[in-house]
Amino acid sequence: MIDIQPEASHYINGAYVEDTSGTAIPVIYPATGAAVARVHAATPALIEQAIEAARTAQPAWAAMSGTERGRILRRAADIIRARNHELSVLETYDTGKPMQETLVADATSGADALEYFGGLAGSLTGEHIPLGGDWVYTIREALGLCVGIGAWNYPTQIACWKAAPALACGNAMIFKPSEVTPLCALKVAEILTEAGLPDGIFQVLQGAGEVGAPLVTDPRVDKVSLTGSVPTGKKVYAAAAAQMKHVTMELGGKSPMVVFEDANIDDAVGGAILGNFYSSGQVCSNGTRVFVHASIKDAFLARLKERLGSVVIGDPLDEAVNFGPMVSEAQRAITLDYVAQGKAGGATLFHGGKAIEGQGFYIEPTVFSDVTDDMTIAREEIFGPVMCVLSFEDEAEVIARANATDYGLSAGVFTADLTRAHRVIGQLQAGSCFINTYNLAPVEAPFGGVKASGVGRENSKAAIEHYSQMKSVYVAMGPVDAPF
Ligand code: NDP
């Protein structure tokens, strides 16, 4: 086993910092349930230290040219790629996700974000607006100090998806990982320092909500970007709004995946597997309501059953394993409770449904068929490997049913009919949509939700709008024409 105990709990002003007087947070390896490391929550004194360091360092960072800032971010991307294996092992210890996933979807996705926004940094400009004599120019300015708060499912990716655009725009960021997965963000901070990032520009503070909350309400913080559940999002959004802070909210979902009768069944089944069982179902954009046209429902389920036969559940450090444990005992208990509610509510348990005996927080990939819209398992985000299969008869009906939710993160359509694909996607209320695939999130594409699933966008050029603000300057070229 590698030594995954970090040098210290926090990363402040360019260095690891420890203060064991903060609440101890054990790091539990989800595959065994054993504590493999320990960190401590940040004390108020450390929060103060980090905010002061950020406020002191940020103006000089913003004053550098975008190209210089970008060079540092791109260097960090290169270091992450060179250390991908080691970082993937750490991500696996932090989250329990199999190496087969972490090697390709976590540190590498973080590197993509640093490379992409590093490349954009030099091109962030304002514009010149001619008014026939007088003119206006605009300046794209950094917001100042941004706070990033992460969920536990993608600790490296979330830290990088927030830090990369924030830093590219000239902001400083204090990042608070989920207390469940505290390790990976520290590595991101360490690597950014190695790449040349000035001290104080990206810092990491550990702790649960009691560390996140004072960061959100501190008047010296200009923006809050949260990845988390809708209930937490509502609290954090309200707290930020009280001081008119900028926000990005990447929240939960109960996304629909619609499989029409002309769909390629293998692709649709593949999409449903990706959209329900990757990361043991702990993905915000998962297509957990799989609407299958009644005429192909049996064929779809039969193919799904076959493919579930090749799931390899086991030690996530073994690269042959493609389905790992859930992140925590608590999250598995929540998931098992939903499974019980599904059975009690009258859905057919088509596959799985049980915790796996032995050590670690394993649960079988689970499929319910004959699910109806009113059932709890079809309405609430489970955040575990539980797929609900519902059937439908026609297009207008399925669009209405797919949209009958407060959530609006993602949606997918599987069909061979090109015009239907675009017509249906155009009517689905979701921010991140897919046609004939599911759950791909390249850095070049905007990512985020509508309705209760969030505010703002991560990734792509759209993220720049959420980490910068415009100043417009009117320039008079003649005398001032006043009424008296
Ligand atoms: P939570 O909402 O429980 O927590 C999210 C983060 O907020 C954690 O770091 C948490 O700290 C912190 N937090 C909790 N309360 C407060 C508060 N009052 N003020 C400030 N910070 C606070 O979500 P989970 O960690 O359980 O993650 C799962 C959720 O995240 C799911 O709903 C999922 O859909 C969503 N998600 C959304 C994504 C998206 O991009 N749209 C991507 C990934 C996940 P701590 O937990 O340490 O107490």
Instruction: Give the ligand 1 atom nearest the CA of 458.
Output: 40
- How sure is the predictor about 42, in pLDDT bands with cuts at 50, 70 and 90? very high
**pTM, whole model, 2 decimals?**
0.97
Binding residues: 28, 94, 150-152, 176-179, 252, 284, 381, 451, 454
Two tokens at 321? 């394993």
Which residue out of 91, 101, 146, 162 is catalytically annotated? 162
Two tokens at 64? 């550098």
Two tokens at 195? 């790449």
Find the residues whose C-beta lies inside 6 A of ligand 1: 149-153, 176, 178-179, 208-209, 212-213, 216, 226-229, 232, 235-236, 250-253, 284, 381, 383, 409, 449, 454
Where along the chain do the CATH 3.40.605.10 domains lie? Answer: 10-251+453-471
Which residue out of 146, 160, 184, 284 is catalytically annotated? 284
Separation of 384 CA from ligand 1 center, angstroms?
15
Q: Does the annotation count 297 as an active-site position?
A: no
Q: Label residue 458 left, alpha or beta by phi (over 0 means left) and psi (-120 to 50 means alpha).
A: beta
Q: Which tens digit of pLDDT belongs to each residue from 97-112? A: 999 999 999 999 999 9
CATH superfamily of 256-435: Aldehyde Dehydrogenase; Chain A, domain 2 (3.40.309.10)
Separation of 178 CA from ligand 1 center, angstroms?
7
Where along the chain do the CATH 3.40.309.10 domains lie? Answer: 256-435
pLDDT value of position 3 = 80
Instruction: Give the ligand 1 atom nearest the CA of 149.
Output: 9
Binding residues for K(+): 28, 94, 451, 454
Separation of 226 CA from ligand 1 center, angstroms?
7
Mean pLDDT value across the chain: 98
Residue nearest to atom 8 of ligand 1 (CA): 178
Two tokens at 482? 């006043």
Show Cβ contacts of residue 168 under 8 Å, excluding neighbours closer than 6 positions: 66, 69, 70, 73, 117, 118, 120, 121, 124, 464, 467
Ligand 1 pocket test: pick from 152, 156, 227, 283 the residue with the most ligand atoms within 8 Å of its Cβ: 227
- How sure is the predictor about 308, in pLDDT bands with cuts at 50, 70 and 90? very high
- How sure is the predictor about 71, in pLDDT bands with cuts at 50, 70 and 90? very high
Residues in the chain: 484
Which three-class secondary structure string do you get for 219-283?
A: CCCCEEEEECCHHHHHHHHHHHHCCCCEEEEECCCCCEEEECCCCCHHHHHHHHHHHHHHHHHCC
Ligand 1 pocket test: pick from 229, 285, 410 the residue with the most ligand atoms within 8 Å of its Cβ: 229
- How sure is the predictor about 1, in pLDDT bands with cuts at 50, 70 and 90? low
Domain 10-251+453-471 has CATH 3.30.450.20: no
Average pLDDT over residues 150-154: 98
pLDDT at 2 over 80: no
Q: Which tens digit of pLDDT belongs to each residue from 322-354? A: 999 999 999 999 999 999 999 999 999 999 999
pLDDT at 362 over 60: yes
Q: Does the annotation count 261 as an active-site position?
A: no
